[in-house]
A and B are shown apart, each in its own frame.
Chain A
Amino acid sequence: MRLTGARHYQEDTKMRLNRLPILLAALSLLLLACGSDGGGARPTVRIGSDNFYESRLMAEIYAQILENDGYTVERTFGLGSRQERAPVFSDGQVDLVPEYVGSGLGYYDVSQITGDGATNRDRLQASIAEFATVLGITPGEDTNAGVVRQDTADELGIDSMSDLAAIQDQLRWGIPPDCVENPLCKGALEQYGITYPPAQLESLAACDVPIAEALNGDAVDFAWLCSTQPAIVQYGFVVLADDLDTQPAENIAPLVRNDFLDKVSDADDFKALLDAASALMTTEELTTLGVAIAVDQREVDEVAKEWLTSKGLLG
C-alpha cells in the first residue's frame, strides 16, 4: 500500500509538470484570442465523425473553420457507423459530429422521415433537443441510391428504380446485409415491387469499396451505393432515378452538444461560422471533393483546406 502511495505521488508531480506547458499554451491562446476578438471563451471542441471519407471531410471542414477562429480542436474521427457513433455523441464523449438529417432522424424514429431536408432537420432537432442542437443544413445531399453499370442500363433500357421489378430475376443484386430491417432499404425495394430477398443476392455493405468493385467487375448488376460515391464518377455508373421518392432528404448538418454550446460565450457566432460553410456545400461539390479523396488519393485535411480557401472561409 505504501508503494502505491508513493507511485501516486510521483505520477501527480509528473502530471503537474506535464500540464504546465499546456496551461501556458492555453493562457497564451486566451491572450491571443482576447487580442483579436476582444474576448469570449473558446473551449476545446472534440469533433467526431463516422468512418467514411465524406463524414471525415465534413468533420475536418468544421475543425479547420473553428481552428481558424481560435478554437482548439480534438479530432476523434472514424467512430464507426451511425449505430456506433450516435451513442458516443449522446454519452458526451465528443461535442460535435456531422450528420445526415434523414438517416439521423431515422435512427430515432423512422416513421417521421420525409423527402424534405428542412423538415427532417426540424424533426431531428425535436428528437435530440434534450442534449444537442442541429445547425444549418447543406443544400447538397448524399442519399442511398440504386446504381447499375452503363452497359446494363443500355441493354435493358432502364433508368429508374421502377424499371427493375419486371426484370428482377435477370439481375444479380448487391445489397447490404442490414437491408432486411431497414425500411429505407428493404421497404424502398418493396415499394418498387421488388421481392426481397432477390434470388441472386450478394451481401455487401452499402457505399463501400467491395460493393462498387463488385458492380464494376460484373459480379453484380445492381448495387446499393451512395449518390455522391466517387466510384460512380470513376466507373461511369448510372444512378437509377428514385421515381417514387422512397429515399429521405439527406442534407448534412453539424450536431453540437448543448452542454458544449453553454461553455461558448458567443454561441451565435459559433453557429454562424459553421452555417457559412454548410450553406456553400452543394451535391456537386460533395461529389468533386469525394473524387479528390477517394480516387485521387489526396489527404482529407488538404482537400478540406483547399475548399475552404477557395470559398474564402479561412479569411
Chain B
Amino acid sequence: MSKVWQWFLDPVHWQGPGGVPTRVWEHVWISLLSVAAATLVGLPIGLWTGHTGRGGNLAVNLANIGRAIPSYAILVMVLPISLALAPTLGYSPNLGLSFIPTFTAMVLLAIPPILVNAHAGLLAVDRDLIESARGMGMKETQILGRIEVPLALGVIVGGFRTAVLNVIATATIGAIVSFGGLGRFIIDGRLRGIAGIPELIAGAILVTVLAVGVDLLLGGLQKRMTPRGVGIAVNQRAEGAESPAA
C-alpha cells in the first residue's frame, strides 16, 4: 500500500496528458455522453411501454439481453466494424478505433437500467389515480407528465443512478482500444507486470472514488426530486425495479 501512496504523491502523475486530472476528465465526459445517449433512447421507450402497458415485456427483455452481453465483447465486436465504416461515413479512423467502440459498449450498458426502471416505475403508479385523471378529462400526455412521471420520479432517477454507476466502473475497458480515461492506469499497470501493480491499484481506487462520489451526488439529487411521502410509497410498490445500489 505504501507504494500506492507514493504513486499518488508523485507530482508526475498529476500533470500533462497522462495525468490524473486529464484522465478523470476523459472518464467523466465519456460517461456523461454515454448515459445521455442511453437516456435519449431508453427513457422514451420505457415511458411509452410503462404508460400504455404495451410492448413492455418485449422492451424489457431486449434491454436485458443487452445487459447480458459483456461490455468487453461489444467493444471487440464493434472495433472492426467502426474501423471499416470510417472511410464510407467519412469520420476519422481514430474515432473508429477508440471512441466509437467504447461509446457503443457504454450506451448499451446504460440503456437497460434506465429503460427498465422507467417502465417499472410507471407500472407501479396506482391505476385508480390514472382512471380518475382520465375521468377528469386529462389528456394522455397530461396524465404522463403531471401524474405518472412525478410519482415515478424516484424510481426513474434510481435507474439513471444505476446506469451512471455501471458506466463509470466499466468505461475503464476503453483503454484496451487506446481510449484514455482512468482505465489507462489499470491497463498500463497490468501490462507492466509487478512494477505496475501500484499504478493498477491507484487506477482502481480512482475509479471507485469517482463512481461512489457521483452516486452520492445523484442520491442527494434523487431525494430532492422525489415529493416527500410519495417517494416512499412509490418505491415500495415498484418492486420489480432496479435498486440504485445494485
Q: Please give the residue numbers on chain A whose beta carbons come within 8 Å of chain B beta carbons, in ascending order.
A: 81-84, 87, 172, 174, 176-178, 181, 202-205, 209-210, 213-214, 216-220
Contacts and interface: CB of A to CB of B under 8 A. Distances in A.
B93 A177 contact: no
Given A210-B176, A213-B83, A218-B87, A178 B191 contact: yes
29 contacts: A81-B190, A81-B191, A83-B194, A83-B196, A84-B193, A174-B178, A176-B191, A177-B184, A177-B187, A177-B188, A177-B192, A178-B191, A181-B195, A204-B177, A205-B191, A210-B97, A213-B79, A214-B83, A214-B178, A216-B83, A217-B83, A217-B84, A217-B86, A217-B97, A218-B83, A218-B87, A218-B93, A219-B97, A220-B97
A203 B94 contact: no
Contact of B188 (A84, A172, A203, A213): A203
Contacts of B194: 83, 87
Q: Which of A204, A214, A220 has the most CB of B within 10 A?
A: A214
A214 B191 contact: no
B217 interface: no
A218 B175 CA distance: 19
Given A217-B96, A219-B93, A81 B193 contact: yes
Given A210-B176, A217-B97, A219-B94, A203 B184 contact: yes
Contacts of A176: 191
Q: In the complex, which of the residues B79, B178, B191 has the most CB atoms of chain A within 10 Å of its own CB atom? A: B178
B98 interface: yes
Contacts of A209: 76
A203 B87 CA distance: 22
A205 B196 CA distance: 15
B53 interface: no
B178 A218 contact: no
A185 B187 CA distance: 18
Contact of B178 (A81, A178, A203, A216): A203
Nearest to A174: B178
Given A202-B97, A204-B177, A219-B93, 9 more contacts: A83-B194, A176-B191, A177-B184, A181-B192, A214-B97, A217-B86, A218-B93, A219-B86, A219-B96
A197 to B, nearest CB: 10
B227 interface: no
A34 B199 CA distance: 54
Contact of B175 (A82, A203, A220): A203
Interface string B171-188: 000011110000010011
Contacts of B240: none
A178 B196 CA distance: 9
B80 interface: yes
Interface in B57-93: 76, 79-80, 83-84, 86-87, 93
A218 B80 contact: no
- A84, A176, A205, most chain B CB atoms within 10 A: A205
A251 B130 CA distance: 75
Contacts of A203: 175, 178, 184, 188
Contacts of A83: 191-196
Interface in B94-142: 94, 96-98
Which 7 pairs of residues, A with B, have the shortest CB-CB distance? Answer: A83-B193, A217-B83, A219-B97, A219-B93, A177-B188, A202-B178, A178-B191
B192 A210 contact: no
A217 B87 CA distance: 9
Given A82-B193, A83-B194, A218-B83, A205 B97 contact: no
A87 B195 CA distance: 13
Nearest to B101: A210
Nearest to A204: B178
Contacts of B87: 218
Contacts of A205: 176, 187, 191
Contacts of B96: 217, 219
Interface-central residue, B94, B184, B194, by most chain A CB under 10 Å:
B94
Given A217-B97, A219-B93, A219-B96, A210 B193 contact: no
Nearest to A220: B97
A78 to B, nearest CB: 14
Contacts of B76: 209-210
A220 B86 CA distance: 13
B132 to A, nearest CB: 57
Contacts of A181: 192, 195
B149 to A, nearest CB: 42
Most buried by A among B86, B188, B195: B188
Contacts of B175: 203
